[in-house]
Copies of this chain bind each other. A is one copy, B any other.
Amino acid sequence: MKISILGTGMVGRTLAAKLSSLGHPVAIGTRDPKATLASNDKDAMGNPPYRVWAEQHPSVKLVTFAEAAAQGEVLFHVLSGQGAIPGLRLAGAENLAGKILMDVSNPLDFSKGMPPSLAVCNTDSLGETIQREFPKTRVVKTLNTLSAPLMVDPHKLAGGEHTIFVSGNDAQAKTQVTGYLREWFGWKDIVDLGDITTARGTEMLLPIWLRLWGALGTPVFNLRVVR
């Protein structure tokens, strides 16, 4: 299946590497591919420039947001909270229409000190914002509650006995996404929280997630819904 990932950060790279290793044709979308490949700067999190990663993953193509959205049969959205809507507008509503967009982003706001707060929460969410802006896209919020290495390899931790969530308005899209998460990454416990407004719940996990990272000294943890 042709899979496109909108965003070149570590989450996007981790998803792309895993999906490519499974044999899927994977494209990563960015604003300006030439500029992204020319950059020698580390990203905001101190990760090496995209170029270094790209050399190690020659099968993953870097294209524009619009090309990525047009080519992909299923899309991942992994832009920053701030970059989400501008990036998706460049991808183009017509290229996003009818497609599943797995929204893995969080609206982190670094402007009010560390740890970051949320730019939108409580009575709205980034997932809802994206769904409102692109009503024809089948937005499924998922995977935004844990670190990238665990997203694609839950078995790394406690035999995969921990939980992720899906939120979205399109029941069939959620069923498909649940299947992908099982098949591609080996997820066992996937809870359907309800419509896209339930993305408020998973995005609002970020404040405790960030503090657990501090308290535990590692991002290699996740929540399990014990019931």
Q: Which residues of A contact B (CB under 8 A)?
A: 112, 117-118, 121-123, 157-158, 161-162, 165, 191-194, 198, 200-202, 204-205, 207-212, 214-216, 218, 220-227
Contact = CB atoms under 8 A, between A and B. Distances in A.
Contacts of A224: 162, 223-224, 226
A207 B122 contact: yes
Contacts of A226: 157-158, 161-162, 221-224
21 contacts: A112-B123, A117-B122, A121-B204, A157-B226, A157-B227, A162-B226, A191-B215, A193-B208, A193-B212, A194-B211, A201-B207, A201-B208, A201-B209, A201-B210, A204-B204, A216-B225, A221-B225, A221-B226, A221-B227, A222-B225, A223-B223
Q: Lowest 3 A-B CB distances belong to which pairs?
A: A201-B208, A221-B227, A201-B207
Contact of A211 (B158, B162, B193): B193
Q: Do most interface residues of chain A lie in helix, strand or loop, or is the interface mixed? A: mixed
Contacts of A216: 191, 225, 227
Contacts of A223: 223-226
Contacts of A191: 212, 215-216
A158 B225 CA distance: 11
A118 B202 CA distance: 15
Nearest to A118: B122
Contacts of A205: 204-205, 208
A214 B227 contact: no
A161 B224 CA distance: 10
A202 B209 CA distance: 10
